[in-house]
Structure formats: structure tokens, C-alpha cells
């Protein structure tokens, strides 16, 4: 019996949950399906907002210092329409402590979270797959397929999009999958042919046969998102990216692809985030299209709220219900914000397409038109979640 909590999943949300639990004096144990040495296939998240870094700083100032010193803050952003610049913005330099965000590959974030967790006394059972979950009167029983058991006061399920815990407890996901495919590729920096260290969005890139292309720098490389068109084969574009990538890079660029994938993005939210003494967090609870970087940032907001609920549950009988109410409402708003970004990118309907074309024409005389084109691919900055951006 563990008097504190078990966290299922040592992804970034599970690791953050465990770290935040330790900082509140809870004992916590993490169960992870994969071995400690497994390299996870995806690179995925890169953008951590200051709000997230500040949340992590409450548990480990050293971790937030590392994220800020290793992460990249891109100094500006530029937007093009069919090869013509329609907007450019340079950020005022700020001291590292005030960095508005950092851009760092997810595997490195997870290493730093894991090290901070170890320093704080988080324990992890690797190669341990939670299979059965039973809510009891005042505890939760977790059993692995091999028959090992853990009993704890609470469980936070941070076991990702295919959450076994959520399935076992019979919680459906509500929402849908987008029709448009995206190919996402990471390339390593080539110091001899540097790309701009800026975030650059191209509407209708002339060298990508008029597709939308987003470049996002991170420490050590660039993320490139290619928006597929009807008739594209996303699997082929992801497995053989060099053909479409090379024309987008400076001549002679090494074009070393470090990761590639393709997606139809899901926009789904779990029907409830609290089942007895089990709290769902991160992708176990919600999936958003990544434009606006709401997935992991909101997962860490879930982690902080879940630990608050657990800490106060003894004295506040509504704490777990409030977790469900507040974080599920946040997820629905995050999904709506990501949905707005998607709707803009896919420009369904003649009105949206006409508005974008008109803004592109107006942008060379009307700054506001360029700003509009620049901001829309990421959705609203403030999704209307009380007290949180995510
Ligand atoms: C292309 C792309 C770009 C993105 N960019 C961003 C971004 O810039 N910023 C952002 O905020 N978000 C971003 N996201 C979203 C972000 O990647 C996810 O929200 C985040 O990785 C989810 O973390 P998690 O810990 O909830 O899940 P996961 O990372 O999936 O971790 C789940 C863990 O649980 C383990 N597990 C699974 N089942 C079990 C079991 N039964 N027992 C024990 N362990 C189990 C898994 O092995 C895994 O380690 C992006 C997503 C995509 C697809």
C-alpha cells in the first residue's frame, strides 16, 4: 500500500505529475510500460510556454533553469503568402528568466523531468504495464498483466492517447478526427547552411506546390510541418521527405532528417476526467491538433490541478469533482482553440479562402491584415480558460 499516489505513464505529463506530487510532500510511484532505456519513437512537443515553465519551477527551480538555458527562444517570426512576406515581428530581447517560451525536443524535456524527479525522490517501475484498475472504498488497486499489484490512495492516469486505464474504466472520448493530413519532419541544424532561427509560416509555398509549410526552430534543429493536399500520400511524403524538403532548404543543406511522421489530428476529450479515485491527465484525457501547442502545455496544467485535488481531497469533498469540472472545461476550450487554428489552415469554405486572399493583398499597406495572417495558424492565444492560458 502506498499512502500517496501511483502515476501510470512516465511520459512528460506523468513525470511532471510525480515531480509536483513530491513537491507537495506526497509519496508517489510511477509505473511505465517501456524499459528505462527505450527510445520513444516520436519527438513531438517542442514548445513550452512560460506558464508551464513556471508551474514546473514551483516543484524544481533547477529544472526550470535547465529548460530555459537549453531551450531556444526564437527571436522573431515571419509569414509569407505565395513567397511574398506579409508580416514580420522581432521580439524585444528579455532576460532568460522572463523567456516567454522555450523550444526544445520532447525527448530532452523528458530526460530533464526524469532527472528532476529522481532528485526529488520519485521512484519508477520500468517495463511495468498497468492492465487492471479497480476503484475500492478508500484506495485504488492496479494490477499488471504479470499479476503484480499496487494499492494507493489515488491514481493519476497519464498513460497517453491509448490509455489502458481509461479503457478499463470504460470512459469514452468525444470528438472527431480531422480530414486533412499533415506531415511533420525534424531536421538537424547544418552549421554551414543555417536556416533562419525564426518561426516562419508560408501560406501556399511556391516551392512546395502551393502547400502551407511551417518552420519552427528548436535547440539543435527545425521542425517542418507540411500540410497535405487532397490526393497526397502522407505516408509516402513522411517516409521519403527529401524530395519535397530539399527545395525548401538552402542549396547544399545536409537535410539530415532526425524524425518524421504523418497525422490526421484527433480533437477529442474524455467524457469525465475523474472516476472514483482515478484522475485522467494529459493525452489520456484529451487530444488536440498541435497548432497552438496546447497538448503538453495543458497536460502540465492538468498535472498541477490533479495534485492540488489529491492534496486537498481529505478536507474538501468536492476536490476530485472540481478537478473533472475545471480541467474538462479547459480541455474543451483548448480543443476549440486548436479547432479554430485547423479551420483557418484548412480554409474550408469560400468565405475563409476569400478572407485570406484579401488579407494577403491588403497586408502590404495594412499592418493589421499581416498580423491577422500571422496569428491565425495558431488559434487564439487566450482560449478563455479562467486563470490559465491552457
Ligand atoms: C506533431 C506534434 C507536435 C506537438 N507539439 C507540441 C508542442 O509543441 N507543445 C505542446 O504542448 N504539445 C505538443 N504536442 C502534444 C504533446 O506531444 C502531447 O500532448 C504530450 O506528449 C502528451 O504527453 P503524455 O505524457 O500525456 O503522453 P505520452 O507522451 O504518450 O506518455 C504516455 C506514457 O505512458 C506510457 N504507458 C502507456 N500505457 C501504459 C500502461 N498501460 N502502463 C504503464 N505505462 C503506460 C507510455 O509508454 C508513455 O511513456 C504535439 C503533438 C504532436 C503530434
In DSSP notation, 109-168 reads HHHHHHHHHHHHT-EEESS--EEEEEE-SS-EEEEETT--EEEEEEEEE---TT-HHHHH
Instruction: With H, G, I as helix, E, B as strand and everything else as coil, classify residue 229.
Output: coil
CA of 293 to the centre of ligand 1 (A): 12
11 lines ligand 1 (CB under 6 A): yes
CA of 30 to the centre of ligand 1 (A): 15
pLDDT at 2: 54
First CA to last CA across the chain, in angstroms?
A: 34
Range list of H helices, the chain: 12-23, 50-59, 61-70, 106-120, 164-168, 234-239, 242-245, 295-312, 319-346, 350-362, 367-375
* 296 CA closest ligand 1 atom index: 11
* pLDDT one-digit tens code per residue, 235-280: 999 999 999 999 999 999 999 999 999 999 999 999 999 999 999 9
CA of 10 to the centre of ligand 1 (A): 9
238 lines ligand 1 (CB under 6 A): no
* 287 CA closest ligand 1 atom index: 19
pLDDT at 39: 83
6 lines ligand 1 (CB under 6 A): no
306 lines ligand 1 (CB under 6 A): no
CA of 241 to the centre of ligand 1 (A): 24
CB-CB neighbours of 176 under 10 Å: 10
292 lines ligand 1 (CB under 6 A): no
CB-CB neighbours of 380 under 10 Å: 15
pLDDT at 144: 94
pLDDT at 43: 66
Only one residue has cell 509569407, namely 80
Cβ–Cβ under 8 Å, residues 131 and 144 = yes
282 lines ligand 1 (CB under 6 A): yes
84 vs 230: CA distance, rounded Å: 24
CA of 258 to the centre of ligand 1 (A): 18
Only one residue has cell 547552411, namely 193
Instruction: With H, G, I as helix, E, B as strand and everything else as coil, classify residue 180.
Output: strand
pLDDT at 3: 64
CB-CB neighbours of 240 under 10 Å: 13
Ordered strands of the 199-205 beta sheet: 84-90, 76-81, 199-205, 211-218, 221-227, 173-188, 257-270, 286-287
Fold of domain 2-74+99-175+266-340? FAD/NAD(P)-binding domain (3.50.50)
Half-sphere exposure of 110 (CA within 13 A, CB side): 19
315 vs 269: CA distance, rounded Å: 29
CA of 81 to the centre of ligand 1 (A): 33
CA of 283 to the centre of ligand 1 (A): 6
pLDDT at 59: 98
Q: Pick from 32, 45, 51 the residue to mutate for probing ligand 1's pocket: most ligand atoms within 8 Å of its CB.
A: 45
DSSP 319-367: HHHHHHHHHHHHHHHHHHHHHHHHHHHHT-SHHHHHHHHHHHHHTTT-H
14 lines ligand 1 (CB under 6 A): yes
CA of 185 to the centre of ligand 1 (A): 17
| pLDDT < 70 stretches in the chain | 1-3, 41-43
Amino acid at each position: 500500500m502506498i499512502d500517496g499516489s501511483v502515476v501510470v505513464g512516465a511520459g512528460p505529463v506523468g513525470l511532471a505529475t510525480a515531480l509536483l506530487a513530491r513537491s507537495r510532500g506526497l509519496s508517489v510511484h510511477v509505473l511505465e510500460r517501456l524499459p528505462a532505456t527505450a527510445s520513444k519513437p516520436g519527438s513531438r512537443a517542442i514548445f513550452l510556454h512560460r506558464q508551464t515553465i513556471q508551474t514546473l519551477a514551483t516543484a524544481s527551480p533547477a529544472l526550470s533553469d535547465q529548460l530555459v538555458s537549453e531551450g531556444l527562444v526564437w527571436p522573431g517570426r515571419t509569414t509569407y503568402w505565395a513567397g511574398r512576406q506579409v508580416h514580420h515581428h522581432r521580439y524585444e530581447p528579455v532576460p532568460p528568466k522572463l523567456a516567454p517560451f522555450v523550444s526544445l525536443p520532447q525527448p530532452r524535456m523528458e530526460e530533464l523531468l526524469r532527472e528532476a524527479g529522481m532528485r526529488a525522490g520519485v521512484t519508477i517501475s520500468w517495463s511495468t504495464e498497468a492492465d487492471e484498475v479497480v476503484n475500492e472504498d478508500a484506495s485504488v488497486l492496479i494490477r499488471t498483466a504479470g499479476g503484480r499489484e499496487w494499492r494507493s490512495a489515488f491514481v493519476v492516469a497519464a498513460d497517453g492517447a491509448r490509455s489502458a486505464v481509461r479503457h478499463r474504466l470504460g470512459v469514452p472520448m468525444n470528438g472527431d478526427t480531422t480530414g486533412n493530413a499533415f506531415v511533420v519532419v525534424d531536421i538537424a541544424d547544418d552549421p554551414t547552411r543555417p536556416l533562419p532561427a525564426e518561426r516562419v509560416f508560408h501560406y501556399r509555398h511556391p516551392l512546395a506546390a502551393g502547400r502551407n509549410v511551417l518552420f519552427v526552430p528548436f535547440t539543435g534543429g527545425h521542425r517542418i510541418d507540411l500540410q497535405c493536399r487532397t490526393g497526397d500520400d502522407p505516408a509516402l511524403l513522411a517516409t521519403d521527405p527529401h524530395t519535397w524538403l530539399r527545395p525548401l532548404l538552402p542549396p547544399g543543406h545536409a537535410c539530415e532528417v532526425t524524425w518524421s511522421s504523418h497525422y490526421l489530428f484527433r480533437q477529442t476529450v474524455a467524457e469525465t476526467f475523474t472516476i472514483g479515485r482515478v484522475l485522467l491527465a494529459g493525452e489520456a484525457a484529451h487530444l488536440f491538433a498541435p497548432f497552438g501547442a496546447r497538448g503538453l502545455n495543458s497536460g502540465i496544467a492538468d498535472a498541477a490541478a490533479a495534485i492540488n485535488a489529491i492534496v486537498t481531497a481529505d478536507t474538501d469533498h468536492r476536490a476530485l469533482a472540481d478537478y473533472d469540472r475545471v480541467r474538462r472545461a479547459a480541455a474543451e476550450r483548448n480543443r476549440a482553440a486548436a479547432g479554430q487554428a485547423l479551420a483557418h489552415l484548412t480554409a474550408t469554405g469560400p468565405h475563409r479562402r476569400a478572407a485570406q486572399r484579401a488579407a494577403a493583398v491588403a497586408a502590404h499597406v495594412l499592418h493589421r491584415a499581416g498580423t491577422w495572417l500571422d496569428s491565425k495558424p495558431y488559434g487564439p492565444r487566450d482560449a478563455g480558460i479562467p486563470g490559465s492560458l491552457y
